[in-house]
């Protein structure tokens, strides 16, 4: 078996060693080997991350990881898992492992037997993955800060070991001799005529290459992830950290370009009869320098993306840790009050919104969502932008959406299927769960919404009301559930639905976010970030005594005036009570919290009545 560092620097040798032991490609054993290694202290953080380090600084065929969101799922593809080679010197044959590679090559004086009956073809799944949309800068820095400083072996591109020739050696020989049609070198997938020999060009428009990020101005690599599990339970928008073998070999683009050239041979193309459009080739087989490949060995499903709390935190463990953050609620509320013109009530509702999350589904109804509309926002000042600056320092994922007429009519909110390129074109609302979406409706000017604008408004409204988004597959629609925290800031009551509407009542001059944040110590800010992360996943329950109190209050209010306490009103009070308890770091409701919630609702309703009477 390989030495202790080989599994990091040369993981292919591990797969080859297991293949030699078992005589077959055994992905389960390979996955078990790496899963066990990564459970050791700091082992995972010793693996370089594509999120933090440029691909050109990582060695091809080394072990890497990628924290990402599944943006699209491509059709499964076939590859040579086992191939036979013939030693030209003594005419002896041997079997080699072709797993976890884009290109398989033979050692010198060996010949690859393409027609051998001993060859084994298998199927692998391919996902197009992008960095988690809307991830804030502080979250990226904290994730990067957890990494163990890289050793010298991972900082430069070195020659590969094993059955694959070194990258520098390949390119030098190609420059000197040209690429011939020697069948001893074969790509494990079909040709990619859309790529150039340099591997650095891709189909581009006037704004550069389209990496299909859901949000504009996103940075970080997209990645094609190959999975070797027989069945994959991943779905679009899942957050995953994949750990696998990096393949960013320009030789892939070189071979593809050669096959599509005038001297190409059909015998080299495993699928010569395929009718693939140039757009599909460009989307599914981009240059590896632009979109690297990652051959997954193991993975971790991410239940959250907050670097301040443990990866495996759950409801009960979160509730236990919440006690360590006693008192942070007051400082958090003070920060929100400063940016909300000194309006404590509005700050309270913002805090409840920040700890909300869909925690269950009752039929088609998402339970736990708390979409908030704050009206009365001054149009002459930048309250939405200032509030966004504060919120993005508190949560790991946040996006600010300016609801201008141009944006509504020109942007695409809904993902749609592009059948020409055979891929899912992303939309703004294709976001991972627990993303904060701040909608600035004060930017909406007078004008006409076109058909696309109406479609966008409808899609946003459905996400707010039902936490569902209809993806457009042209011939049909497919519903995908979401879990987005939507905060709408408007001048009057929003045209979008909401679970709660509160009117802003400025008490003090606006406090710029930069000044408000400057007054918060860094340690305190980190505690706020951790507190909000834990509150979203913490367990909550009602004692039998409190259930009786709530029931009696409901009956009493209904007896006094049916219109004073509808079923919807009581449901909102129950939701706010849950959020109030979690925002106080508690796992159950107390009479004091219930009283505070009723007082908040009474004041909110009084503001609405006063506002409608003016």
3-state secondary structure 254-295: HHHHHHHCCCCCHHHCCCCCCCCCHHHHHHHCCCCCCCCEEE
Q: How far apart are CA 351 and CA 583, in angstroms?
A: 7
- pLDDT tier at 181 (50, 70, 90 boundaries)? very low
Counting residues of the chain whose pLDDT is more than 70, the rounded percentage is 84
Q: How far apart are CA 370 and CA 607, in angstroms?
A: 19
- pLDDT confidence of residue 271: 46
Cα dist from 338 to 149, 334, 372, whole Å? 39, 6, 19
66-91 average pLDDT score: 93
Average pLDDT value for the chain? 85
609: pLDDT strictly greater than 50: yes
Cα dist from 2 to 36, 59, 158, 294, whole Å? 15, 18, 19, 21
Q: Which among 285, 308, 461, 501 has a CA at the least distance from the CA of 394?
A: 308
Residue-wise pLDDT for 553-576, tens only, equals 999 888 877 677 888 999 999 999
582-592 average pLDDT score: 94
**How many CB atoms neighbour CB 169 within 10 A?**
11
313-318 average pLDDT score: 71
3-state secondary structure 166-211: CHHHHHHHHHHHCCCCCCCEEECCCCCCCCCCCCCCCCEECCEECC
Angle at CA of residue 66, ends 62 and 72, nearest 5°? 120
- pLDDT confidence of residue 316: 67
- Name the helix (H) or strand (E) containing 129: strand 120-130
Cα dist from 573 to 363, 540, 551, 595, whole Å? 21, 15, 12, 10
Residue-wise pLDDT for 116-158, tens only, equals 999 999 999 999 999 999 999 999 999 999 988 765 444 333 3
Q: How far apart are CA 113 and CA 136, in angstroms?
A: 51
Residue-wise pLDDT for 273-288, tens only, equals 457 888 998 899 898 9
476-500 average pLDDT score: 96
């Amino acid at each position: 078996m390989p030495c202790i560092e080989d599994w990091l620097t040369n993981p292919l040798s591990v797969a080859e060693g297991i293949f030699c032991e078992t005589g077959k490609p055994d992905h389960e054993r390979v996955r078990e080997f790496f899963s066990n290694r990564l459970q050791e202290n700091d082992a995972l953080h010793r693996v370089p991350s594509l999120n933090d380090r440029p691909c050109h600084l990582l060695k091809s065929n080394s072990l890497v990881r990628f924290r990402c969101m599944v943006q699209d799922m491509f059709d499964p593809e076939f590859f040579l898992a086992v191939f036979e080679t013939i030693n030209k010197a003594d005419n002896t044959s041997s079997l080699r492992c072709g797993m976890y590679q884009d290109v398989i090559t033979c050692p010198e004086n060996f010949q690859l037997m393409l027609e051998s009956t001993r060859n084994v073809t298998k199927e692998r799944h391919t996902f197009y993955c992008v960095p988690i949309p809307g991830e804030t800068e502080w979250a990226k820095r904290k994730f990067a800060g957890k990494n163990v400083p890289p050793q010298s072996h991972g900082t430069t591109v070195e020659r590969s070991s094993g059955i694959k020739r070194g990258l520098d050696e390949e390119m030098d020989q190609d420059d000197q001799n040209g690429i011939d049609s020697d069948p001893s070198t074969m790509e494990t997938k079909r040709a990619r005529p859309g790529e150039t020999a340099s591997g650095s060009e891709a189909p581009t428009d006037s704004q550069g290459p389209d990496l299909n990020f859901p949000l504009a101005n996103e940075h970080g690599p997209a990645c094609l992830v190959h999975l070797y599990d027989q069945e994959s339970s991943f779905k679009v928008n899942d957050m995953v950290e994949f750990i696998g073998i990096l393949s960013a070999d320009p030789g892939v683009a070189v071979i593809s370009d050669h096959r599509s050239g005038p001297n190409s041979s059909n015998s080299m193309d495993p699928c010569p009869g395929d009718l693939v459009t140039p757009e599909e080739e460009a989307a599914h087989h981009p240059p590896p320098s632009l979109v690297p490949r990652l051959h997954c060995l193991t993975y971790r499903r991410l239940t959250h993306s907050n670097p301040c709390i443990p990866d495996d935190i759950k409801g009960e463990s979160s509730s236990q840790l919440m006690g360590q953050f006693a008192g942070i609620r007051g400082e958090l509320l003070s920060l929100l009050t400063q940016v909300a013109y000194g309006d404590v009530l509005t700050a309270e509702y913002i805090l409840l919104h920040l700890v909300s999350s869909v925690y269950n589904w009752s039929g088609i109804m998402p339970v736990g969502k708390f979409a908030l509309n704050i009206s009365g926002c001054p149009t002459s000042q930048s309250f939405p932008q200032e509030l966004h600056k504060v919120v993005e320092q508190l949560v790991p994922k946040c996006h600010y959406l300016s609801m201008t007429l141009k944006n509504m009519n020109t942007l695409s909110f809904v993902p749609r299927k592009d059948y020409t390129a055979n891929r899912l074109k992303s939309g703004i609302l294709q976001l991972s769960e627990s993303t904060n979406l701040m909608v600035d409706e004060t930017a909406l000017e007078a004008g006409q919404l076109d058909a696309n604008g109406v479609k966008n408004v409808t899609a946003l409204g459905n996400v707010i009301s039902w936490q569902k988004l209809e993806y457009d597959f042209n011939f049909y629609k497919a519903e995908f559930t979401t879990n987005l925290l939507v905060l709408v800031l408007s001048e009057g009551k929003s045209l979008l639905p909401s679970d709660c509407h509160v009117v802003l009542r400025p008490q003090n001059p606006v406090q710029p976010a930069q000044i408000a944040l400057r007054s918060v110590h860094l340690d305190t800010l980190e505690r706020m970030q951790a507190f909000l992360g834990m509150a979203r996943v913490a367990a909550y329950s009602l004692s039998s005594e409190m259930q009786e109190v709530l029931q009696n209050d409901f009956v009493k209010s209904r007896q006094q005036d049916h219109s004073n306490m509808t079923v919807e009103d009581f449901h909102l009070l129950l939701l706010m009570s849950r959020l109030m308890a979690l925002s106080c770091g508690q796992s159950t409701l107390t009479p004091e919290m219930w009283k505070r919630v009723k007082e908040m609702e009474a004041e909110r309703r009084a503001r609405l009545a006063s506002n409608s009477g003016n």
